[in-house]
Amino acid sequence: MDVVALHRFVTQAGRSWDDVTVVDAGAVGLRHAVNVCRARPAVVVSGADPAELARGLAGWRRSLVVESAAGLSTVDPADAVARPWPEPGAVLCLAEQNFAPAGEGWALPDDDFAHRDGMIAVAEVRALVLARLAPRPGVLVWDVGAGPGAIGVECARLGAAVVAVERDPVQCVRIIANASAHGVDVRVVEAELGEAGSGEAGELPRPDAVFVGGGGADVVRRSVRSGARRVVVATPDLDRVLPARDALLEAGYSVEGSQVAAARLTGGTLLATNPVTVLWGVKKA
């Protein structure tokens, strides 16, 4: 990666070098580069075919500035897929709107998110879920049955690309509002998680990790068909724990779990939160 040449390209494209994330697709792989482009507002990518990069950005509101022998071309990803790119140079991927993660830390207070009473993974549960999902730059996380999207938003704040799948249109609006409030970009799909390969949600790009809110075994089975290496399930319903565990085991995951029952200090009193069981499965090699 020629840093001087990349710096010149970014300047010619009208951006500040300090505002861009730099990724070498030849070193980290195309999937990693695409996921960074899905998660960050301005990314300069070297070592990637523009058409392949654009193909991975379907569903994300992005534009591409492509360096070639003919100069700089600004194109929509849908157009970039259809064009030949002989000897392309670097590609600058830009979001329609600029954004930057707000605040510090993780497992944020519940009130930092707009939510319906009782319809949010509380901070203590989110802390464990995030630890098991391992969100970071270059990976894609599905937040399935996302509710207000607190898990997905926290994953995005830690650098991951995120797709939130939620059937309730009111909750979808909350996800968008929460993502905006925390300075991250979360792609929202208003749908059920369909069978693999069918329906809107079924066509989503392959995730590295999946969070399943609610813990229904049928949704867990659909999630594991994605091929994600990590699947994390949270449910307050004890009747759903063993079916969810069995669904993970049947799909070849090693499974562990823990019940989280926190007591919060309020004034001089400890008040218990509702217990939630968290299961996590890691795909065996």
At 201, which amino acid appears?
A
Task: List beta partners, residue 266.
Answer: 269
Owner of token pair 């710096």: 7
Q: Which fold has domain 110-283?
A: Rossmann fold (3.40.50)
**237: pLDDT strictly greater than 50:** yes
Report the pLDDT value the prediction gives residue 196, as an integer from 0 to 100. 39
Residues 6+ apart with CB under 8 A from 68: 85, 86, 87, 88, 89
The answer to whether the CB of 33 falls within 8 A of the CB of 25 is yes
Band of pLDDT at residue 1, cut at 50, 70 and 90: low
Question: C-alpha 285: how far from its chain's center?
Answer: 23
Mean pLDDT of 68-75: 90
How large is the average pLDDT for residues 171-187? 97
Whole-model pTM: value is: 0.94
Neighbouring residues of 218: CB distance < 8 A, sequence distance ≥ 6: none
How far is residue 208 from each of residues 9, 22, 25, 226, 264, measured CA to CA in Å?
31, 21, 17, 9, 33
Percent of the chain clearing pLDDT 70 (strictly above) = 96
Which of these, 244, 246, 254, 252, lies nearest to 217 by C-alpha position? 244
Q: Is the pLDDT of residue 26 over 60?
A: yes
| 247 closest CA partner among 272, 271, 279 | 279
User: Within 13 Å and on the Cβ side, how many CA atoms surround 30?
Assistant: 10
Q: Taking the domains of the chain in order of start, what are their residue ranges? A: 3-95, 110-283
pLDDT attached to residue 197: 40
Q: Selecting from 3.40.50.300, 3.90.930.60, 3.30.950.10, 3.90.1170.40, what CATH number does the domain 3-95 have?
A: 3.30.950.10
Instruction: Determine phi and psi for 219, rounding to 5 degrees.
Output: -70, -35
**Residue 18 DSSP code:** G
pLDDT at 195 over 60: no
